[in-house]
């Protein structure tokens, strides 16, 4: 299967120097104005406790950046704990299914993963250059040649093969890192995923400066090692596009420091997506409020997506972007409520 990863860290990382200079009472509000483009009404809303999500202008139509923030009257460590809890994530808006992988991953970890019926029908006859499912040519050929499409249990057979290929993709990534991400062909547009990854990360000069351990881990996994990083894998079935999408994700939790200040970050790096996302990364950073006891969750969801260019693509893009923004806002509301409830009860 196509294995993909991506980054859009620059926006969040521009904020990180303010963690080092926490005595500045105007942070993170200066960041909200200058880099996220929030107006004063939105900033006041966040500070008073209302989660806000906003689409950030992107350099090309096929790239989507969505910023979100919420003030939470709790501790950053409580957010890190929640973000690492699969059972809690399962209850968040837009999640249809989610399951963590064992260490090492097992085929049984994918029990419960099934393709949509229309995806199964698409696989029967689609071609590499014209397939709604994002798959390399060899995977499409394996489905079409090894499946008895007249069998009464054809859906079960397709799903079992899909599970096996998904496990294979994850195993290869765990052994070879970004160089094992391979290449895919989508409507005659070939892309070497590792090259795309390296090109995109090269834009974010602040990452190696302020979070060098996290930067190294993202680029050099599995060779990179850090005592400040905990990582694992999960698969999810989500519905924040036009149709349900299966993804394999590497979750990286960072507990470190920037200067003398503690730093907390959660990165969710996409390894594969069945639809839409050619590249994707969600990055959340916890920033203490210098004047109060709580903190701000600041999240950027970044992706490069197929089918968002041209006249038809512009219509699709609006729907996809609006849905991503509203989904992030709902998730922030849920996270805030959960953490503050726990904090109030001393959990």
Instruction: Identify whether the C-beta of residue 29 lies closer than 8 Å to the C-beta of residue 43.
Output: yes
DSSP code per residue over 6-51:
----HHHHTTTHHHHTTT-TTTTHHHHHHTS---HHHHHHHHTT--
Kindly tell me the sign of the dihedral angle through the C-alpha atoms of 142, 146, 147, 150: positive
Q: Are strands 295-305 and 63-72 parallel, antiparallel or unpaired?
A: antiparallel
Residue 156 resides in a domain: no
Residue 166 resides in a domain: no
Q: Token match 């806002």: residue?
A: 329
Looking at residue 227, which CATH number applies to its domain? 3.30.530.20
Using the predicted structure, report yes or no on whether residue 202 has a pLDDT greater than 70: no
Residue 57 resides in a domain: yes
pTM value is 0.85
Share of the chain residues as helix, strand and coil, in percent rounded to the nearest 5: 40, 25, 35
Residue 66 resides in a domain: yes
Q: What is the pLDDT of residue 72?
A: 97
Residue 204 resides in a domain: no
Q: Token match 């995923």: residue?
A: 193
Strands (E), 215-320: 229-238, 245-258, 261-273, 277-288, 295-305
Residue 190 resides in a domain: no
Minimum mean pLDDT range among 104-113, 248-257, 274-283 = 274-283
| Domain limits for position 250 | 10-105+209-344
CA–centroid distance for 62 within its chain: 16
Residue 177 resides in a domain: no
- b (16+ CB within 10 A) / e for 196-231: bbeebbeebebbeebbebbbbbbbebeeeeeeebeb
Residue 71 resides in a domain: yes
Chain segment 3-37, per-residue pLDDT in tens: 333 334 444 554 554 444 444 456 678 778 877 78
Token digits of residue 13: 């990382």
With a pLDDT cut of 90, the percent of the chain lying above it is 39
Using the predicted structure, report yes or no on whether residue 185 has a pLDDT greater than 60: no
Who wins on pLDDT, 11 or 320?
A: 320
Q: What is the pLDDT of residue 192?
A: 61
Please state the domain count of the chain.
Answer: 1
Chain segment 122-167, per-residue pLDDT in tens: 999 888 777 888 887 788 889 999 999 999 999 999 999 999 999 9
The angle subtended at Cα 77 by Cα 72 and Cα 83, nearest 5°, is: 80
Using the predicted structure, report yes or no on whether residue 187 has a pLDDT greater than 50: no
CA–centroid distance for 115 within its chain: 20
Q: Rounded CA gap, 107 and 198, in Å? A: 30
Q: Which helix (H) or strand (E) holds 170?
A: helix 154-176
């Amino acid at each position: 299967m196509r294995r993909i990863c991506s980054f859009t860290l620059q926006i969040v990382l521009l904020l990180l120097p303010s963690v080092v200079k926490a005595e500045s009472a105007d942070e993170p509000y200066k960041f909200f104005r200058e880099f996220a483009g929030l107006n004063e009404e939105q900033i006041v809303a966040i500070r008073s406790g209302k989660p806000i999500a906003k689409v950030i202008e992107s350099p090309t139509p096929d790239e989507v950046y969505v910023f979100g923030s919420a003030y939470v009257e709790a501790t950053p460590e409580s957010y890190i704990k929640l973000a690492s809890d699969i059972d809690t994530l399962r209850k968040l808006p837009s999640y249809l299914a989610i399951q963590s992988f064992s260490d090492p991953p097992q085929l049984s970890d994918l029990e419960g993963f099934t393709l949509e019926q229309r995806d199964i029908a698409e696989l029967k006859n689609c071609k590499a250059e014209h397939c709604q499912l994002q798959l390399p040519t060899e995977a499409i050929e394996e489905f079409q040649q090894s499946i008895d499409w007249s069998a009464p249990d054809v859906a079960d057979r397709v799903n079992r093969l899909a599970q096996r290929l998904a496990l294979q993709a994850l195993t290869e990534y765990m052994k070879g890192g970004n160089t094992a991400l391979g290449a895919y062909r989508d409507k005659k547009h070939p892309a070497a995923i590792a090259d795309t990854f390296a090109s995109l990360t090269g834009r974010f000069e602040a990452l190696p400066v302020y979070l060098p351990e996290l930067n190294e881990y993202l680029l050099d996994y599995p060779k990179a090692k850090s005592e400040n990083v905990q990582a694992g894998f999960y698969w999810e079935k989500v519905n924040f596009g036009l149709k349900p999408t299966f993804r394999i994700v590497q979750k990286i939790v960072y507990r470190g420091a920037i200067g003398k200040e503690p730093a907390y970050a959660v990165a969710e790096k996409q390894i594969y997506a069945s639809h839409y996302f050619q590249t994707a990364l969600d990055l959340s950073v916890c920033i203490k409020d210098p004047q109060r006891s709580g903190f701000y969750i600041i999240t950027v969801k970044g992706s490069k997506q197929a089918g968002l260019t041209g006249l038809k693509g512009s219509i699709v893009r609006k729907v996809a972007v609006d849905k991503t923004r509203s989904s992030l806002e709902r998730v922030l509301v849920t996270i805030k409520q959960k953490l503050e409830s726990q904090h109030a009860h001393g959990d």
